[in-house]
Structure 1
């Protein structure tokens, strides 16, 4: 059975028009689908409004106890339930999940090495039988980036990682999975100033070549590392692009060969 796992980030969540378009796209999918959302920009906004200073190192949030409370309210409450309500409006019977709900995602607190990220969680297991059961009931899971450690502790987990681990778990459960990362560019760009320079396809070999010659650098590297980890673990394809590209069946398609 085919399955689409769609990840939308803060650039879409924070833009009402873009969010409505993304949810229209998700609701239009015929095959079973799972939505994973981030929302880091909204979380940082709320943290600031509550008189605290967001702390980020290399794009990763330092999550102390107070920050964990705020991001849980924002991700698992405000954003997740707004997305679910908007999908219900579109006739899509969505169900919002944190990792703690029905033990959907088990994680562990990230070990302290050079940096103490606080209550950041690294995924240990995704409950594929649960998600399979919900999909077979005609429900569409909407997953937020809050997980738990089965000891009563909530954890803040990167949404890209949740999408990657969810897609991998569902592939191992027998689904043909297309993982789609919806972000602000038409694909992985040769030149971000040239909207026509999206790379149409990547394999592990061509990805290595583009890294070696400096075409792919910076923040795209961890995203693509995750993409090829998913492909190597059984996900059929990972597609990266903006909403227009995904709607048109374009974007950068990452495959095994």
Structure 2
């Protein structure tokens, strides 16, 4: 079974030009087959503010109404995705910019919650991820750069958490590859009073979440 890497880059790294330059250099040196999943950074929020669209976040997740969806698609699947792709191409990485909506790559359904209407936020249907398409890309030594936009079978676009996309891809692709997932963000890891938690199981996670140690964007991670 061949090995692949799924590398997820956080929005705060994307927003930091110096960190982003270092990441691109490091990523271009990673051998083997790789998938790069990226978040959105602050640009979508900035664009929404410029257009007079209110931004709402709950537990590190964006509430995505119809107008917010437009800005997230523009920024995530457009500017950020293509900027990363061309930068990798300039470093001799044969990269292709995609979103989860392309070739039904990452099918999703609208999130259902009794407590909160997240709007156009998609939950991934992991068993329907188009793993055969990714396998074909790997055969041609192409590196997919995936933006966190998904869609359903009716043609509805969704904003989907990039951390969830990375983990769902890992689950789906683990049937045909040995998968290693790497999260690249501005922290050293999941922290408890500035100390990295080396191992984290479900019960420990729930306890840390209830005590306000794991909060906001760290929750989906």
Tell me the TM-score normalized by structure 1. 0.78
Count of paired positions = 218
SS at the partner of 2:13?
Answer: helix
Gap runs ≥5 in structure 1? 225-257
135 and 109 in structure 1: CA distance in 2 versus 1, 3 angstrom threshold: same
215 and 178 in structure 1: CA distance in 2 versus 1, 3 angstrom threshold: farther
SS at the partner of 1:105?
Answer: coil
SS at the partner of 1:92?
Answer: coil
212 and 71 in structure 1: CA distance in 2 versus 1, 3 angstrom threshold: closer
Is 1:190–1:215's contact at 8 Å kept on the other side of the alignment?
Answer: no
Question: Higher mean Cα deviation, 208-217 or 109-118?
Answer: 208-217
Is 2:10–2:186's contact at 8 Å kept on the other side of the alignment?
Answer: no
**Inter-partner Cα distance in structure 2 for 1:213 and 1:102:** 39
Is 1:134–1:141's contact at 8 Å kept on the other side of the alignment?
Answer: yes
User: Is residue 108 of structure 2 the alignment partner of residue 107 of structure 1?
Assistant: yes
SS at the partner of 1:30?
Answer: coil
Q: Which residue of 2 aligns with 1:21?
A: 22
Q: Which residue of 2 aligns with 1:160?
A: 163
1:127 to 122, 127, 130: 130
212 and 7 in structure 1: CA distance in 2 versus 1, 3 angstrom threshold: closer
130 and 112 in structure 1: CA distance in 2 versus 1, 3 angstrom threshold: same
Shift of 1:212: 9.6
**Inter-partner Cα distance in structure 2 for 1:75 and 1:87:** 17
**Inter-partner Cα distance in structure 2 for 1:214 and 1:54:** 26
**Inter-partner Cα distance in structure 2 for 1:90 and 1:23:** 8
Gap runs ≥5 in structure 2? none
User: Is residue 27 of structure 2 the alignment partner of residue 30 of structure 1?
Assistant: no
SS at the partner of 1:178?
Answer: strand
Is 1:35–1:141's contact at 8 Å kept on the other side of the alignment?
Answer: yes
- Listed as ranges, the matches of 1:169-180 within 5 Å are 169-172=172-175, 174-180=176-182
User: Is residue 143 of structure 2 the alignment partner of residue 140 of structure 1?
Assistant: yes
Shift of 1:7: 0.5
User: Is residue 219 of structure 2 the alignment partner of residue 218 of structure 1?
Assistant: no
**Inter-partner Cα distance in structure 1 for 2:209 and 2:220:** 16
Shift of 1:38: 0.4
Tell me the TM-score normalized by structure 2. 0.90
59 and 209 in structure 1: CA distance in 2 versus 1, 3 angstrom threshold: closer
RMSD in angstroms over aligned alpha carbons?
A: 2.3
**Inter-partner Cα distance in structure 1 for 2:119 and 2:210:** 36
219 and 55 in structure 1: CA distance in 2 versus 1, 3 angstrom threshold: closer
